[in-house]
Amino acid sequence: MQVMTEVSRISSPWIVQPKPNHNAAIRLFCFPYAGGAPHIFRNWPESLPSFIEVCAVQLPGRGNRLREQSYTSFKDLVPDAASALRPFLDRPFAFFGHSMGALAAFEVARVLRDSGNRQPEILFVSGSRAPQLPRKGTKTYDLPDDEFIEELRRLNGTPDEVLEHPELLQIVLPLVRTDFAVTESYEYVEQPPLNRPLVVFGGLADTEVGRERLEPWRQQTTGPFKLVMLPGDHFFLHSQQRTMLTTISRELQAV
C-alpha cells in the first residue's frame, strides 16, 4: 500500500489532474482532440463518481509545455505517451479519446499490450472513424490560412472569439495545423484485436464521422462492443457531456 501511495504522487508534464484523488479505484486517462488541451476535461470530475480519477493527457506545445516541440506523427507520439503513462498504471485504468485523441488512446493501448504492460480495463473512443478505414485523401493541415480557418469554423470545434482574434490565431493555428498533420498522416498497421471492452461514441449530426465509419471499430476487440450515438455534430462531447459521462460512469462501475 505504501508503494502505491508513492507511485500515485509521481508528477509528470504529461498528466494534468483537475481534481487529484489518490484514493480513486480507477484512473481515466483522457486524450484531447486536435488542438485540444487538458482544460477540455477540467470539469469532468464534477460529473463523475468519486471512485474515478480524471487524468488529462497534456501533449507538448500546450499548457506549461508550450515551449516544447509539438509532435508531427503518431510514430513518435505514441511510444512517448506510453512511456509517460507507465508510472501511473499502478491501479486499474481506462482510456478516453476524442477524434485525434481516440486514435492516440487506441494506439497507446496496443503498445502497452505488446510490451506486456497493464492494459486499460475499458477503452472509450469518440468521434473517430475506425482506424482500419482509409483516411480521406484531402489534406487540410497545409491549406492557406483563410481556407484553414474556414475548415475550423465548419468543424465547429474552435470558439468564434479565437477565430476572429488575430493575436490568438497566431498562437492557435500552428498547433492545430500540427495536430491535423498528425491525424491526416496516420497509417494503420494490422495487429490482433484488443481483448478489452470497447465503447464508441458518435454524433448523430457529425458529417465527418457517421455511424457507418464507427461500426467497424467492433473489429478492434474480441471483448464486448457498444456503439452510443448522441445528438450533436463532431464536437458532441461538449453539448452532450453530461449524457456521455453518465455512460462512462456506468461502464466503469461495471468493470
At 3 the pLDDT is 38
Q: Where are the domains of the chain?
A: 2-133+188-254
> What average pLDDT does this structure show over 138-146?
73
CA distance 52 to 204: 28
The residue assigned the cell 496516420 is 186
- Beta-bridged to residue 52, according to DSSP, are 26
Q: Half-sphere exposure (CA, 13 Å, Cβ side) for 212? A: 3
Q: Which residue in 8, 50, 73, 99 is the catalytic one?
A: 99
Strands (E), 195-239: 198-203, 225-230
Mention every residue, 6+ apart, whose C-beta is less than 8 A from residue 115: 82
Look up residue 211 and give its three cell numbers. Answer: 455511424
Strands (E), the chain: 15-16, 26-31, 52-57, 93-98, 123-126, 198-203, 225-230
pTM for this prediction: 0.90
Between 165 and 204, where is the model more confident? 204
Topology of 2-133+188-254 in CATH?
Answer: Rossmann fold (3.40.50)
- 3-state DSSP assignment of residue 207: coil
pLDDT band at 160, cuts 50/70/90? Answer: low
pLDDT at 5 over 80: no
What are the pLDDT digits (tens) for 110-139? 999 999 999 999 999 999 999 999 876 667
pLDDT at 48 over 60: yes
Write the DSSP symbol of residue 94. Answer: E
Please answer whether residues 185 and 71 qualify as being in contact, where contact means their C-beta atoms are separated by less than 8 angstroms: no
Q: Is 99 known to be catalytic?
A: yes
Please answer whether residues 93 and 28 qualify as being in contact, where contact means their C-beta atoms are separated by less than 8 angstroms: yes
Full strand arrangement of the beta sheet holding 26-31: 15-16, 52-57, 26-31, 93-98, 123-126, 198-203, 225-230
CA distance 61 to 146: 23
Distances (CA, A) of 29 to 18, 102, 135: 12, 11, 26
> What average pLDDT does this structure show over 145-153?
77
What are the pLDDT digits (tens) for 55-92? 999 999 988 898 899 999 999 999 999 999 999 999 99
State how far Cα 237 lies from the chain centre. Answer: 11
